[in-house]
């Protein structure tokens, strides 16, 4: 499946468990509140095709 996604130019925004800075353009906050630039943890993978967002990564605050 990963090879097929690569052929279509689709890539994951981040992997589950990754900690990164919150960007509301690419991430959907599942609970709590955070400001852009604050640290969040990826709960569900998001996908993009080049600069086009297909599905936001679902994230939650890092406590």
Domains and CATH numbers, the chain: 2-61 (2.30.22.10)
Q: What's the confidence (pLDDT) of residue 5?
A: 86
Q: CB-based contacts of 2: which residues, under 8 Å, 6+ apart?
A: none
pTM metric for this prediction: 0.85
Confidence band, pLDDT 50/70/90 cuts, at residue 1: confident
What is the rounded distance in angstroms from the CA atom of residue 41 to the CA atom of residue 20? 7
Report pLDDT digits (tens) over 10-44.
Answer: 999 999 999 999 999 999 999 999 999 999 999 99
Q: What's the confidence (pLDDT) of residue 25?
A: 95
């Amino acid at each position: 499946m990963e090879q097929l996604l690569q052929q279509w130019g689709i890539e994951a925004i981040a992997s589950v468990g990754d900690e990164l800075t919150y960007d509301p353009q690419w991430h959907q906050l599942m609970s709590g509140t955070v400001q852009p630039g604050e640290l969040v943890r990826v709960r569900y993978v998001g996908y993009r095709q080049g600069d086009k967002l297909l599905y936001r990564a679902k994230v939650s605050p890092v406590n």
